[in-house]
Amino acid sequence: MNTILALETSCDETAVAILRCANGNSGAKLLTSEVASQVAEHEKYGGIVPEIASRNHLVNAPRLLERATRDAKIHLSAIDAFAATSGPGLATSLMVGASIAKGLAIGLSKPYLAINHLEGHLLSPFFGEEGVRRNVSLVVSGGHTMSILVRALADYQLIGRTVDDAAGEAFDKVARMLGLPYPGGPEIERVARAGDPTRFDLPRSMSDSENFSFSGLKTAVRYLLPKIVERFSETPDGEQRLTQTPYKLDERVLADLCASFQQAVVEVLVRKAITAARKYNADLVTMSGGVVCNRQLRQQMADACACEGFEFKSAGSWLCTDNAAMIAFTALLRLEAGLESQVTEEIDPSLALTL
Ligand code: KG4
Ligand code: ZN
């Protein structure tokens, strides 16, 4: 039996999880998964301020650890291994979680596992399952957009990655242009529900390349905005609206623009995933990362996979945004495969997935 405690502090969420596995990976039971969000602290800056993030991790992590062990009714001495995200992420944020996990591992003479945040997302669709099956996987978050051929645990081939903005980053930047709060993805999805996705013709970057690009789409929205304001603000304050940024759009127009933007992102992700699955002869397509909370993306990917005869599996919404349960699960699989880390292993802000 293995019980793993994992910390995730790569960005602006402080998270602690405890996962217990009775026999093999099957029957892995999540005893607790705690996440302390810092969204409110960073919202007013329109993005994450590293200094604020690390200070908050320092305050939040010990509290979450205490709460996690209490909720899981377990003493730290009964934990079999300690894990932490070691990259990619913000250096000063990563350091907090990794230092705590290393300290506990050294102090209690238990193994330490340095976990790649991307591998955590990548394996999250298999959370609680016995192992990892061959699949083409999309990791779509605020910092990353990549497609990967997963052959088995720790056997990955990069298919494509974004050459500019990550999909979540594009959601966040466009939301900011529209005066919507941070993080922008959930806000755009909420507003888009009442909108017409065919109203505005926005570009889909579909080049032959297996890579992704979202900055052209973001720029198209930027150039479209003043034109829309001009066209739709035949009201007494029309002139004033033109000079205001973020632009003040009518509710209807805002909903249509959000829906059109969302649809453009979803279409690119779906088409590229399907093309990759065909090319690499995969039976299974998986998806993970914060943007996968988006219901249109889930639905359209599920429909496209069904149409093509691929099985489709995505991480549950609670596992898509940053959390420590996915780090604990990856650590469990690695521990059972004998892939422990040295406590001397450094954090690496630009850690790549080992391919
Ligand atoms: O995986 P995650 O929590 O953090 C990173 O590792 O980056 O992803 C956060 C990203 C943000 O850009 C956020 O706007 C986006 O995921 N996101 C969404 C939705 N929920 C979160 N994007 C689109 N639709 C959503 N419902
Ligand atoms: Zn993430």
| Any ligand 1 atom below 6 A from CB of 290 | yes
Ligand 2 center to 326 CA (angstroms) = 10
347: in domain: no
Q: What is the pLDDT of residues 61-90, one digit of tens each?
A: 999 999 999 999 999 999 999 999 999 999
67: in domain: yes
343: in domain: no
Pocket test for ligand 1, best of 13, 117, 123, 141 (most atoms within 8 A of CB): 141
Q: What is the pLDDT of residues 251-281, one digit of tens each?
A: 999 999 999 999 999 999 999 999 999 999 9
Q: What is the pLDDT of residues 145-178, one digit of tens each?
A: 999 999 999 999 999 999 999 999 999 999 999 9
| Any ligand 1 atom below 6 A from CB of 185 | yes
Ligand 1 atom having least distance to the Cα of 13? 3
| Any ligand 1 atom below 6 A from CB of 142 | yes
Q: What b/e string do you get for 321-342 counting C-beta neighbours within 10 Å, with b at 16 or more?
A: bbbbbbbbbbbbbbbeeeebbe
| Any ligand 1 atom below 6 A from CB of 329 | no
Say whether both 24 and 151 belong to one domain: no
132: in domain: no
Q: What is the pLDDT of residues 232-243, one digit of tens each?
A: 655 555 444 545
Say whether both 310 and 327 belong to one domain: no
Say whether both 172 and 254 belong to one domain: yes
- Global confidence as pTM: 0.93
Which position has the token pair 């997935």?
353
Half-sphere exposure of 204 (CA within 13 A, CB side): 17
In three-state form (DSSP H/G/I as H, E/B as E, the rest C), the secondary structure along the chain is CEEEEEEECCCCEEEEEEEEECCCCCCCEEEEEEEEECHHHHHCCCCCCHHHHHHHHHHHHHHHHHHHHHHCCCCHHHCCEEEEEEECCCHHHHHHHHHHHHHHHHHCCCCEEEEEHHHHHHHHHHCCCCCCCCEEEEEECCCCEEEEEEEECCEEEEEEEECCCCHHHHHHHHHHHCCCCCCHHHHHHHHHCCCCCCCCCCCCCCCCCCCECCHHHHHHHHHHHHHHHHHHCCCCCHHHHHHCCCCCCCHHHHHHHHHHHHHHHHHHHHHHHHHHHHHCCCCEEEEECHHHHCHHHHHHHHHHHHHHCCEEEECCHHHHCCCCHHHHHHHHHHHHCCCCECCCCCCCCCCCCCC
354: in domain: no
349: in domain: no
The pLDDT of residue 230 is 73
Say whether both 109 and 145 belong to one domain: no
Who's near 99: CB < 8 A, 6+ residues apart? none
63: in domain: yes
Say whether both 142 and 251 belong to one domain: yes
Say whether both 55 and 17 belong to one domain: yes
| Any ligand 1 atom below 6 A from CB of 315 | no
Q: Determine the Cα–Cα distance for residues 354 and 334; give it in Å rounded to an integer.
A: 13
Pocket test for ligand 1, best of 291, 296, 314 (most atoms within 8 A of CB): 291
Say whether both 47 and 155 belong to one domain: no
Atom 13 of ligand 1: nearest residue by CA position: 185
Say whether both 305 and 329 belong to one domain: no
Ligand 2 center to 123 CA (angstroms) = 12
Over its C-alpha atoms, the chain yields an Rg (Å, rounded) of 21
Q: Determine the Cα–Cα distance for residues 19 and 183; give it in Å rounded to an integer.
A: 28
Domain that holds residue 298: 138-314
Which of 1-5, 84-88, 265-269, 322-326 comes out lowest in average pLDDT? 1-5
Between 164 and 354, whose confidence is greater? 164
* Beta bridge mates, 87: 116
Say whether both 170 and 40 belong to one domain: no
Task: Specify the amino acid at residue 276.
Answer: A
Q: 104 and 86 in contact (C-beta within 8 Å)?
A: no
pLDDT at 40 over 50: yes
Q: What is the CATH number of the domain that holds 247?
A: 3.30.420.40
Q: Over pLDDT 90: what percentage of the chain?
A: 82
Ligand 2 center to 141 CA (angstroms) = 6
| Any ligand 1 atom below 6 A from CB of 141 | yes
| Any ligand 1 atom below 6 A from CB of 321 | yes
Say whether both 158 and 306 belong to one domain: yes
Say whether both 152 and 300 belong to one domain: yes
What total of structural domains would you count in the chain?
Answer: 2
58: in domain: yes
What's the mean pLDDT in 340-344?
A: 95
Q: Please, what sign has the CA dihedral across residues 98, 104, 107, 109?
A: negative
Say whether both 69 and 107 belong to one domain: yes
Task: Give the best-scoring range by mean pLDDT among 125-129, 148-152, 223-227, 242-246.
Answer: 148-152
Q: 165 and 137 in contact (C-beta within 8 Å)?
A: no
